[in-house]
Structure 1
Amino acid sequence: MTKQSDQLNIINAEHFHTAVDDRGIATITLTRPKVRNAFNVDTINHLLTTLAVLEHDPAVRILLLRAQGEHFCAGADINWMKDVVKLGYQENLADAGKLAKVMDKLNQFPKPTIAFVQGACFGGAIGLVACCDIALATSTAKFCLSEVKIGLIPAVISPYVVAAMGVRQARRYCLTGELFSAEQALEYGLIHRLDDDLDALAAPFINTLLDNSPAAMQAVKSLLHDISNHAINDTLIADTSQRIAAIRVSNEAQEGLDAFLNKRKPDWTKE
């Protein structure tokens, strides 16, 4: 295990546990089932540190985000919310900024990310799911953008929620705060697949991702982030041409093309 992964032993806490297996699959597991895995400022701080460690660990190929118990995450911890009520504007700005950084870090994470959702997925938890590349859920999972019910708004998660489920559905559910089902989440694009056995459901995705070029997948993530909502013009055309030209001459692309032409499995560990 790399030095980066060794740091995980330091930052594992009561809020969640992180491990990296021999295949390079990193798993962050929320471990507060008694409070439906609700997060607080400590969870956010630890998540930010953990994501920073994992993104720079060359041994990590895929990141899984999951939770212990019956529920994925009920959003903000009630005790944290009690503390937030006492904060002034500047303190609230700093506090919100930390959650915004977690969302951005997860959204920009350079390796493929998969969310496993069961039970309640409320408030900020929907933001975590929306930031992952692939989102899987059980058929009984429930979703709710509940902020307006307590006088708040889903501000820092809104860009990712809109990107995942579209403006039309976001307008409805951010305004009403109503529950919606796993089937509806699938229909809206927030979730990709449903199955009550999430591990079995994830296995084909994981195997496929492990077969793919790590450098190419990282380049794809960067590409899609950069071209989203970008006008198709000469600048974009030039940029995408430069990206494909650059990756064609990379070591991994040369290995992948050679393997394809010679009908063999590529070895992504070659330098």
Structure 2
Amino acid sequence: MNYQTIETQLAPGIALIWLNRPDVRNAMNDTMIAELTDAFEAAIDDDTIRAIVLAGQGKAFCAGGDLNWMKRAGEMSPEEAFEDSRKLASLLRTIHDSPKPVIARVHGAAFAGGMGLVAACDIAVGSHEAKFCLSEVKLGLVPAMISPFVLGRIGAAHARRWTLTAEVFGAAEAWRIGLLDDISPDDELDGTINGLLGHLVQASPAALREAKRLIRDVAGKPIDDALTDDTARRIAAMRASPDGQEGMAAFFEKRRPSWFIDPENA
């Protein structure tokens, strides 16, 4: 599909989604949000796709919301502004709830809404030169829609400082507080991500989906009889599932499971 503000590429088992407004550092507007939502939904629905990479063209990952687009909210009715804002919230949930792993490839600036995109992904890898900022309060705004994802990543204690001060911080600090999972030199960024993808395409698609659901459902729950019973039911179901049976059979037969993708021979 042809898009105005993003590009998509396919590799064996992988969908790459590129933010493509480099002249404005990939700032998001309503068109980009709609196109990103469409591209993610298409990748999720494509059974040949095992993992998704979100990246930015040009010198930045994403500078946040396009201020010209956001300024138009002043011309909208409260109901129109609410519905317009919900579209970004819906995109972030689509990324976060994707049954397929999503990796953020972060270089340059990931500010405001761009930081929200990073936080919504399962795994985030940044270059040494990546920069982050929750800049909203200096514009008279708050990082409302991205807050559930940012707080889920860095916790309330770290979020208080960076939300209230709107300071710019680097990749090392982003790694320390949990926003980034790994840091690489610029010229090794793609190699690091390809290494992660190599692991993901070896995993069962059904197991990846259920593993994501498991993390979401178990996090923060008390370890009681209800949780113990729930986790026991989950592993019992997976052991009896087609992927569970195939995975164990492949292990004992010393062969690759049927879902394995070999990039060199794809």
Identify the TM-score tier after normalising by the shorter chain. Answer: over 0.9
Unaligned runs of 5+ in 2: 261-266
CA drift of 1:268 comes to: 1.8
For residues 43 and 192 of structure 2, the distance between their equivalents in structure 1, rounded to whole angstroms, comes to 24
Would you say the 8 A contact 1:16–1:32 is kept in 2?
Answer: yes
1:18 correspondence with 2:8: yes
Please show how residues 173-184 of structure 1 align to structure 2 within 5 Å. Answer: 173-184=162-173
For residues 227 and 142 of structure 2, the distance between their equivalents in structure 1, rounded to whole angstroms, comes to 34
1:243 correspondence with 2:248: no
Aligned AA (2:239): R
Aligned AA (1:157): I
Aligned AA (1:244): I
Residue of structure 1 in register with 2:183 after alignment: 194
Residue of structure 2 in register with 1:35 after alignment: 24
1:137 correspondence with 2:107: no
Would you say the 8 A contact 1:255–1:268 is kept in 2?
Answer: no
Deviations 1:66-89 (A, max 9, x none): 011110000011210221222232
Name segments (4+ residues, structure 1) moved above 4 Å.
none
Unaligned runs of 5+ in 1: 1-8
Q: Which has the higher contact order (CA 8 A, sep 6+)?
A: 2
RMSD of aligned alpha carbons: 1.2
- Of 146, 151, 162, 1:162 maps to 151
Comparing 250-259 with 260-269, greater Cα deviation is found at 260-269
For residues 165 and 81 of structure 2, the distance between their equivalents in structure 1, rounded to whole angstroms, comes to 25
Number of matched pairs: 258
CA drift of 1:165 comes to: 1.0
For residues 260 and 139 of structure 1, the distance between their equivalents in structure 2, rounded to whole angstroms, comes to 39
Would you say the 8 A contact 1:73–1:125 is kept in 2?
Answer: yes
For residues 58 and 130 of structure 1, the distance between their equivalents in structure 2, rounded to whole angstroms, comes to 25
CA drift of 1:231 comes to: 2.3
Residue of structure 2 in register with 1:254 after alignment: 245
CA drift of 1:19 comes to: 2.3
Would you say the 8 A contact 1:62–1:112 is kept in 2?
Answer: yes
Normalised by the length of structure 1, the TM-score is 0.92
Normalised by the length of structure 2, the TM-score is 0.94
- Of 137, 143, 146, 1:148 maps to 137
Deviations 1:193-229 (A, max 9, x none): 1111211111210111111111111110011111122
